[in-house]
Structure 1
Amino acid sequence: MSKLPKHILVIRLSAMGDVAMTVPVLRAFTQQYPDVKITVLTRAFFSPFFRELENVSVFPAEVNGNHKGIVGLYKLSKELKNLGIDAIADLHNVLRTNILKTFFFGKRFVQIDKGRAEKKALISGENFQQLKTTHQRYADVFEALGFKLNLSNPTFPKKAILNEKIKILLGDTSKKLIGIAPFAAHEGKMYPLDVMKDVIKTLSKEYKVILFGGGKKETDILNEVKTTFENVINVAGKLTLTEELDLISNLHLMLSMDSGNAHLAAMLGVKVVTIWGVTHPFAGFAPFNQPEEYALLSDRNKYPKIPTSVYGNKYPETYKEASRSISQETVVDKIEYIISVKVGI
């Protein structure tokens, strides 16, 4: 058997949720193999995700700048080789990483199997069953490098100590904190805003609701929601990513779509209730370590083509509001049950 690598380059460049999904896997790796060094090649913006992982450092990929195009990737490969890397775990497997692969000739380079054929069969309805999770697909890459990983007994960081800026923003925190991230990259993945407002209205009577989002349009919508109800705070555009992670770590629960915020909360050990529109957890993108019953699914009797795509970017027009088939009572009851029974009062 070949000698095990002592320094592994892990590649996962985007998107936010996919990068966040690497964190529980890398945490397990660092605990089970503490003598192996990890360098993560990703966007500099995502660096805070990895801040508390032992023996893990981030090498920022400037894919729209210094490392753009084939010449830029060649330059990047030379910079990476100077780090003394023994092997590469490509958790992305896209054109950019395949080009990088050619520059690492002679180095062990293992790429993720995305299971495209199985996902195609799932979407077509030919084989509607749970596929391997993305977390396990990441773990499989490390196993191919000689490092079998056990993801079944995870640990998580302690709640972060909030800085004064966040404390002032939150105000009175005598009520339990519930995060709500109502947006997703595609409309078919979102809970209709009018029903989400009903959910916020009900929850804000008993809990402090923290709204998460990004971009001007989302921020404007959340500001309007915030001014409508008591006990609602909108943090969109007000915090750095590090501060946002600190705040999320202090939530009692996060309500999210099938989107990045679900994975940010899950990687921090926070309970996550997810709402699924035209996508489905069977594709393998459920947030880490969350019970199956925390995923609220659209009615497949009404919408039998779900999942219409892996990422929710393709769906019939009549499916755009599939998640309306999940009643606001279902959402609220699930959250209240988890907070009272699972988390403890």
Structure 2
Amino acid sequence: MKQVQHILIRLPNWLGDMVMSTAFVKAVHDQYPDATIDVIAKKGIDFLLDYFPVHSQRFIFNKEEYSGLTGAYKFGRQIQKQKKYDIFFCLPDSLSSAVMGLAIGAKKRIGYTKELRSALLTNAYHKKKNIHRVEEYIDLLQQFLKREINVLPVELKNNARAQKNAVIVNINSEASSRRLPKEKAVSVINLLRKNIDTKIILVGSNKEAIFVEEVFNALDDKNNISNMAGKTNLQELLILLGSCTTMLTTDSGPAHVANALGTHTIVLFGAGNENNTAPYNQPGRTIIRLGALPCEPCVSNTCKVFGTPECLLRLDDNMIVQNVITILKNKKHN
């Protein structure tokens, strides 16, 4: 059998999913130690590659420049002209990513069956249900190689010299069913301020800045609380997440980044299934879920039962704050 020389991995399109794919990249490297491993990342989250496991060449895919199936094919053809690949691993489930793989012309094109992709892949597999997304990625490699592979930790390189004993608070999420309602966010942060003297840093993207500012303005005591929402880009946020010991957050991309950097991540789960999408490294995470409503867990982006996510509103503030206090004490003694 001819030795595999060149492998290309199409990485996921979302921040959290891309973080979770680091275990897959490491596993491919372990299984093919003599091959060059290149990656494709979406423009906007490609900065993560600087913190990724070892890889060679990187291709940055701009969806605005290469839109639709035609754009994906054109982008793939440009890669094909530069290098011949033995294997193309397709982690996104989209049809366009499989079209891209076809254009690249790799001898083996491997991915999960979805959106009529099977005709474009040489090896299409069915995705197992009820396993974590990190394990879904690894299982794709397992099914292709027909052998069991150990799942490695999800890790990003943390270049921070020392972690400050500060608490980062992220009340945001892309979906309203995963975002802390304003009154709940104010209540939790107020109680947190009363019980700890540690610096509290609020974070959020540009489009989340107005919401975070409303919460910040409603706080009873702003002493030693910094609002950084809208004041950092994603790369600066990553540096901030890596420089603090603890993060209190909703289910979101930054939660995965913090966990992968070694920052203890306390995650408040509303919608979403923590068994599939929680930050993966269990020693560095705390999962908080109400678990008292018949609709839990759902995967809807909006709360279709109550209008506002009662699964988050009904969480016990004291229990949330006590978890933060416990982690801070543990970090202080370590």
Normalised by the shorter chain, which TM-score bucket? 0.7 to 0.9
1:256 to 221, 233, 249: 249
Amino acid across the alignment from 1:150: N
Residue pair 2:142, 2:148 contacting (<8 A) in 1 also: yes
- How far residue 117 of structure 1 moved from its aligned partner, in angstroms, is 8.5
- How far residue 195 of structure 1 moved from its aligned partner, in angstroms, is 2.3
**Runs of 5+ consecutive residues of structure 2 not aligned to the other structure:** 115-124
Q: Is 1:195 aligned to residue 196 of structure 2?
A: no
Once the two structures are superposed, the pairs formed by residues 226-237 of structure 1 within 5 Å of their partners are: 226=216, 228=219, 229-237=222-230
Task: From the superposition, tell whether residues 266 and 334 of structure 1 become closer, same or farther in structure 2 (CA, over 3 Å).
Answer: same
Separation (CA, whole Å) in 2 of partners of 1:246 and 1:293 = 19
Task: From the superposition, tell whether residues 267 and 33 of structure 1 become closer, same or farther in structure 2 (CA, over 3 Å).
Answer: farther
Residue pair 1:10, 1:41 contacting (<8 A) in 2 also: yes
Deviating more after overlay: 326-335 vs 21-30: 21-30
CA-to-aligned-CA distance 1:133-160 (integer Å, 9 cap, x gap): 1001111223345486433456653442
Once the two structures are superposed, the pairs formed by residues 1-345 of structure 1 within 5 Å of their partners are: 2-3=1-2, 5-27=4-26, 29-30=28-29, 34-52=33-51, 53-65=53-65, 67-81=66-80, 82-104=82-104, 107-112=107-112, 131-146=130-145, 149-152=149-152, 157-160=157-160, 176-204=165-193, 205-216=196-207, 218-226=208-216, 228=219, 229-282=222-275, 284-291=276-283, 294-300=286-292, 303-309=293-299, 312-313=301-302, 315-317=304-306, 320-341=309-330, 344=333
Amino acid across the alignment from 1:60: I
Q: How many residues align?
A: 316
Task: From the superposition, tell whether residues 17 and 253 of structure 1 become closer, same or farther in structure 2 (CA, over 3 Å).
Answer: same
Residue pair 2:154, 2:280 contacting (<8 A) in 1 also: no
Separation (CA, whole Å) in 1 of partners of 2:61 and 2:28 = 22
**Runs of 5+ consecutive residues of structure 1 not aligned to the other structure:** 120-130, 163-172
Say what the alpha-carbon RMSD is for the aligned residues.
3.0
CA-to-aligned-CA distance 1:80-124 (integer Å, 9 cap, x gap): 2223322111110212123224435562111146899876xxxxx
CA-to-aligned-CA distance 1:271-319 (integer Å, 9 cap, x gap): 111111132213x10112025971101233xx1121222x544632356
- What TM-score, normalized by structure 2, do the two folds share? 0.82
- What TM-score, normalized by structure 1, do the two folds share? 0.80
Separation (CA, whole Å) in 2 of partners of 1:340 and 1:112 = 44
Separation (CA, whole Å) in 2 of partners of 1:148 and 1:315 = 40
- Residue 124 of structure 1: aligned partner: none
Q: Secondary structure at the match of 1:252?
A: strand
Separation (CA, whole Å) in 2 of partners of 1:187 and 1:116 = 31
Separation (CA, whole Å) in 2 of partners of 1:188 and 1:161 = 36
Separation (CA, whole Å) in 2 of partners of 1:96 and 1:297 = 35
- How far residue 72 of structure 1 moved from its aligned partner, in angstroms, is 1.9
Deviating more after overlay: 290-299 vs 150-159: 150-159
Separation (CA, whole Å) in 1 of partners of 2:298 and 2:307 = 12
Separation (CA, whole Å) in 1 of partners of 2:168 and 2:97 = 35
Separation (CA, whole Å) in 1 of partners of 2:89 and 2:70 = 22
Separation (CA, whole Å) in 2 of partners of 1:20 and 1:341 = 26
Percent of aligned positions that are identical? 23
Separation (CA, whole Å) in 2 of partners of 1:104 and 1:55 = 18
- Residue 117 of structure 2: aligned partner: none
Residue pair 1:23, 1:50 contacting (<8 A) in 2 also: no
